[in-house]
Structure formats: C-alpha cells, structure tokens
Amino acid sequence: MFTELMIMEDLNFSQEHNTEFSQKNKIETERIITPANLMTMERFILAGNIAKMLIKEEHPVAPYAVGMAITDMDGKVARFFDKHFPKLRLGTTSIGSIADPIVDTASILVISTAALCSPRVSLMGKIAISAVLGQEGLKSAWGLKSAYHYKELTKSENNIHGEKLVLPVLAKGKEAMASKLVSIVCAVATNDFENPKIRKTLGLFALGASGFGSYTGEMTRRIYVNQYKDIIKKFEEK
C-alpha cells in the first residue's frame, strides 16, 4: 500500500518542478465529495461486502465484483470533469490522487484474503489470486521502503520531516491494475456456480488476466525502481 508514495498523473512530471506543476498544469481542488472520490470510496465498501460474502459462502458475488471493477474508472471520471466542466471543480482532487492507489491495493488485499479462505472459490481462482496478491505485496513493500528511505534522505534542519516521494503514474500501471481486477472478478465468480465447465472457464480467464496483470505490474514496478534510482542520484549530486 502506497501510504507515503504519492503518485501524480502526468508522464512528463519532473521531481524538480513539483510546485510549478501543481500550480500551472493540474486542475486540483481540496473537495472531498466529488463523483470520482465517491467511486473510490464505493470500491472499498464493495470490497468489504464481497469479502464478507465469500467468507459466509453467500452468492451471487459476481455482480458486486463487477461493480467494484467499474469503480476503477474513477480517474477517467475525474479527468472528464477537469476537461469538460473545469468551473465545477468536481474533477481531480488532492485526496483522490492519494486515496486511489491506496484503495486499489487495500481492496485487492481484502478480497484476495477472503477468496483464499473461501471453500467455494475454485483452485484455479485461488492460484490466480495468489499471483495477484504476491505482486501487489512486492509492489507495496517496495513503495513503503522507498518512501521511507526518501523521507529520511531529504531530512534537514529546515525540513525535519523530509519530503514525500513523488513519481509519475504510468499507463502500464493502470493497465496492470485493470487486469488484476478482471482476474479477481473471474476468480470470485467461481463462488456463484456449481457447473464444473463454468467454474473451469472462469478459472482459466482468472489465470490469464492474473498472469498478464502481474507481469505488467512487475514491469511497471521496475520502471519505478529505475526512476527512483535516478532521483536519488540527482539528489546526491547536489
């Protein structure tokens, strides 16, 4: 979970121009209640409800899982308001840009844990979820470690708390998260069916999406690792 790792949505974002970027190139408000933020909050609520249903062996779970996956379009909704209705200031928010990646990871962890404990989720579904869980765990551990290291590195007499690590959002990262959510939807959907063929088909889809999502997610993480190394190198050269 990227508790301290702030992700900004601009591929050309430069660590050296944080303030200038925020002021000139991004429409951002401090509002809490916006359409995109409501979608983000709803995603975690749905994740909790899905986890409860899996543990209690209730069904149907699939409609809730599909609804949760749809809420991952919160970023697109925010950018839609930024582009078409900027005066309403219902688009990108500070809290939304921080909460979105945290809720993504938290939702996956909550559902994955419940699915692995559920006797109704198929074996292939559990294997797919395990792969997603492993890659998310690796990503989160690296994010927390890097954020802590950067904060300690940037501490000074004038800034005793250090700085937060800021990295750009990559399209591959969102693509990976979408695939992971598809994998989870297919895996937990096996909870709703008794037919072996349907369960097998859903399990295969879950495995395919899990493999693609985990691979793409790991490639994205390695890009972040190289970007972080460049940031540290420039900092040490000052």
pLDDT tens string 9-52: 333 333 333 433 334 444 555 778 899 999 999 999 999 999 99
For 197-236, the pLDDT digits (tens) are 999 999 999 999 999 999 999 999 999 999 999 988 888 7
Contacts 24+ apart (CB under 8 A), 51-57: 51/110, 51/111, 51/113, 51/114, 52/114, 53/191, 54/111, 54/114, 54/115, 54/117, 54/118, 54/120, 54/121, 54/188, 54/191, 55/114, 55/117, 55/118, 57/118, 57/119, 57/120, 57/191
Beta-sheet strands, E only, within the chain: 6-8, 166-168
As given in the structure block, the two tokens for residue 125 are 């579904």
Residue 135 to residue 214: CA distance in whole angstroms: 6
Whether omega for the bond prior to residue 196 falls within 30 degrees of 0, making it cis, is no
Mean pLDDT on 186-197: 95
Mean model confidence pLDDT for the chain: 84
Q: Report the percent of the chain where pLDDT is more than 70.
A: 87
What length is written for the chain?
238
Write out pLDDT tens, residues 174-187: 889 889 989 999 99
Place of tokens 């190289």: 226
- Please write the tens of the pLDDT for every residue from 120-159: 999 999 999 999 999 988 988 999 899 999 999 888 888 8
pLDDT digits (tens, 9 = 90+) for 56-66: 999 899 999 99
> Does position 173 have pLDDT exceeding 50, yes or no?
yes
What residues pair up with 168 in beta bridges, in sequence order? Answer: 8
Q: Which fold has domain 6-237?
A: Four Helix Bundle (Hemerythrin (Met), subunit A) (1.20.120)
Domain ranges for the chain, please list them. 6-237
